[in-house]
Structure 1
Amino acid sequence: MRLTQTVLSGLTLLSAVSAHPGHDLSQEIAERREFLSSVKRSDLSHCAAKLKARGVNKRNAVRREAALEKARAKRGLKKRDLDTVVATDHNATAKGYTLNTDATTLFSGNASCVLTPEVTQGPYYVGGEWIRSNIAEDQAGVPTLIDYQVIDVDTCEPVTGVYLEMWHCNSTGVYSGIVASGNGDSSDESNIDNTFLRGIQKTDADGVAQFETTFPGHYTSRATHIHLMVHTNPTLYVNGTLGNNVSTSHVGQAFFDQNLISAVELTEPYNTNTQQITENADDSILGEEADSVDPFHEYTLLGDDLSDGIFAWLAFGINSTQVNSVTPAAYYYKEGGVANENSGGMGGGSGGAPPSGSGAPSGGVPSGSAPAASATA
């Protein structure tokens, strides 16, 4: 279990210059390096006392432990032996953790957090996705429940009522909603209409949004990661999707420990992925920021085996006054997916302008439900 840091240190942007076909990150890498050398606040240590005084830490522990036990009960799993959990992998001696550390201590801490507003959302972002907590759909893989928390770095208050979006590739390295060379079988044009492993949730009174998904797979030149985006003033449709006029206050990526990734990659269907694995140590951006940024999820296993699932959590600071526009690689409409011709060639598949009349609300889908392709706006 990862015990070294509960608050996420700066969600990291895309890695190698050739991370995705046709997408050059040289400018983004340079701008990010400039930001890291000039940032005034490198962590959230100034927020620790306020978060504790307001009871945020205590509520974090209660919420995360409840979510963990609920996930175990749902799967008929017994509570894991804490000695085994804490003794696995990371040496947490410097933090004062012992083999008998209880759940309250484990789940309540707030450590450093580097603010790193990114200038790219990556080439495989799709606008207009579902507001839902369960994004797994029919994808095979290790079940993963994630608890995200958003904190304002200036006020040290939880950022409430904003929409946190996440997306990642499946167990064999394919992103839904995109047809492009390097993203699975580029001849499968039906993928433009897929929505798996993409979703959006509104943060609650503690700035929290939870998602049910599967553990992400890998693809050539990138370390295993999850994309995160905080929407500042979105348009909401009555059928449960977010509008395509996208503005954000934060775009970034979060990672997992290499030993966890390696264990997952030995299981099916991850072990059928023939793309080359890029380890965390070989991810150029992650390596460059290692001295000041620790963008990794904390996690514990739900049971005694990976197949039982993973519970992960992290919190991260943002500048909630910052607003950036986003250019999706594709859009999701009630007629299906449509590639964005103005995205710089990052999308693919069924290109062209959005269908006439797209974006009009229709139907309704409750949060957490699997979407019907004909229902989205």
Structure 2
Amino acid sequence: PNPPILTTPALDCNATGVYSGVVASGNGDTTDSSNLNATFLRGLQPTQYDGVAQFTTLFPGHYTGRAPHIHVLAHFNGSVLANSTYGGGTASHVGQIFFDQDLIAQVDTVAPYSENTQPLTTNAEDSIFAEEAATSDPVVEYSLIGDTIADGIFAWVSFGVDLTQQFTVTPASTLTENGGVANADSGMGGGPGGPGGNSTGGPPSGAVPSGVAPSGVAKV
């Protein structure tokens, strides 16, 4: 039988460690309420027949307490809504992917990454990295596109998705027709997972596995 088509959202912070769609302590300028309406570095891609999804994005910066990482979710049986967000369906995977420490060091020499004033947390110091590395390899493979890191990288990672798992995703905010609305119950602003969640194989911060598929529009 044909494999199910998964919609794979990816989310990462910008070069100076700021997420879009979030206004909270530790996430850039807390007086800039317009960031709640921003959607940069958030994307959705359906998997192909062979289960592959591709993204063009920026290398994530770092923020206090977390090593550079990208959030990855896998949904199926949902739908893309009129405002280009995704709702309904079932979330069967909630995880994060990481990068080689030597690669992070190279990236941090290039502006605007070199202008990030937040302290760098290494992979060895990141509790979520340790949790994932205990049962899997969360670090991407990569190759430089050109002669230097400034030319970009091509990175890839493989992970399995158990379609019998159903997680309730607690979003940091929801994008409505009138703009972004913060979710007071998301746990954002101090949780180790950052906006929307923690480690691969487990539900996001503040959420528990559920037999009911999540509803609404998750800006994780």
TM-score above 0.5, yes or no: yes
CA contact (8 A) 1:164 1:229 kept: yes
Q: Does 1:264 align with 2:127?
A: no
Mapped to 1, the partners of 2:100 and 2:188 lie a distance apart of: 32
Q: 1:345 to 1:274 in 2, by over 3 A?
A: closer
Q: 1:220 to 1:314 in 2, by over 3 A?
A: same
Mapped to 2, the partners of 1:241 and 1:290 lie a distance apart of: 31
Q: Does 1:338 align with 2:181?
A: yes
Q: Helix, strand or coil: the match of 2:93?
A: strand
**Moved beyond 4 Å, runs of 4+:** 344-347
Which residue of structure 1 aligns with residue 41 of structure 2? 197
Q: Does 1:309 align with 2:152?
A: yes
Q: 1:174 to 1:159 in 2, by over 3 A?
A: farther
Q: Does 1:230 align with 2:78?
A: no
CA contact (8 A) 1:160 1:206 kept: no
Q: Which has the higher contact order (CA 8 A, sep 6+)?
A: 1
CA contact (8 A) 2:141 2:157 kept: yes
Which residue of structure 2 aligns with residue 273 of structure 1? 116
1:320 to 151, 160, 163: 163
- Unaligned residue ranges in structure 1 (runs of 5+): 1-156, 348-358, 360-377
Mapped to 1, the partners of 2:188 and 2:123 lie a distance apart of: 27
Mapped to 2, the partners of 1:275 and 1:259 lie a distance apart of: 18
Q: 1:187 to 1:241 in 2, by over 3 A?
A: same
RMSD: 2.1
How much does 1:299 deviate?
0.6
Mapped to 2, the partners of 1:344 and 1:220 lie a distance apart of: 16
Letter of the 1:196 partner, please give it: F
Q: 1:159 to 1:220 in 2, by over 3 A?
A: farther
Letter of the 1:191 partner, please give it: N
- Unaligned residue ranges in structure 2 (runs of 5+): 190-194, 196-215
Q: 1:344 to 1:221 in 2, by over 3 A?
A: closer
CA contact (8 A) 1:158 1:206 kept: no
Q: Does 1:164 align with 2:8?
A: yes
Mapped to 2, the partners of 1:304 and 1:311 lie a distance apart of: 13
Mapped to 2, the partners of 1:267 and 1:344 lie a distance apart of: 32
1:250-284 residue CA offsets vs partner (Å, 9 max, x unmatched): 00000010000000011100111111100111112
How much does 1:233 deviate?
2.4
How much does 1:246 deviate?
6.2
1:105-143 residue CA offsets vs partner (Å, 9 max, x unmatched): xxxxxxxxxxxxxxxxxxxxxxxxxxxxxxxxxxxxxxx
Q: 1:159 to 1:186 in 2, by over 3 A?
A: farther
1:287 to 101, 113, 130: 130
Letter of the 2:32 partner, please give it: D
How much does 1:231 deviate?
0.9
1:1-377 aligned within 5 A = 159-238=3-82, 240-243=84-87, 245=88, 247-287=90-130, 290=133, 292-344=135-187
Q: Helix, strand or coil: the match of 2:106?
A: helix
Q: Helix, strand or coil: the match of 1:211?
A: coil
CA contact (8 A) 2:123 2:129 kept: yes
CA contact (8 A) 2:5 2:76 kept: no
CA contact (8 A) 2:24 2:188 kept: no
How much does 1:160 deviate?
3.6
Q: Helix, strand or coil: the match of 2:91?
A: strand
CA contact (8 A) 2:4 2:76 kept: no
CA contact (8 A) 1:158 1:207 kept: no
Q: Would you say how many aligned residue pairs link Structure 1 and Structure 2? A: 191
Letter of the 2:81 partner, please give it: Y
Mapped to 2, the partners of 1:309 and 1:210 lie a distance apart of: 15
Mapped to 1, the partners of 2:82 and 2:134 lie a distance apart of: 45
Report percent identity of matched pairs: 54
1:31-69 residue CA offsets vs partner (Å, 9 max, x unmatched): xxxxxxxxxxxxxxxxxxxxxxxxxxxxxxxxxxxxxxx
Q: Helix, strand or coil: the match of 1:338?
A: strand
- Greater fraction helix: 1
Q: Helix, strand or coil: the match of 1:216?
A: coil
Letter of the 1:315 partner, please give it: S
1:290-346 residue CA offsets vs partner (Å, 9 max, x unmatched): 454211111101100111111111111111121112121101123221112343465
Q: Helix, strand or coil: the match of 2:181?
A: strand
Mapped to 1, the partners of 2:40 and 2:3 lie a distance apart of: 27
Letter of the 1:265 partner, please give it: D
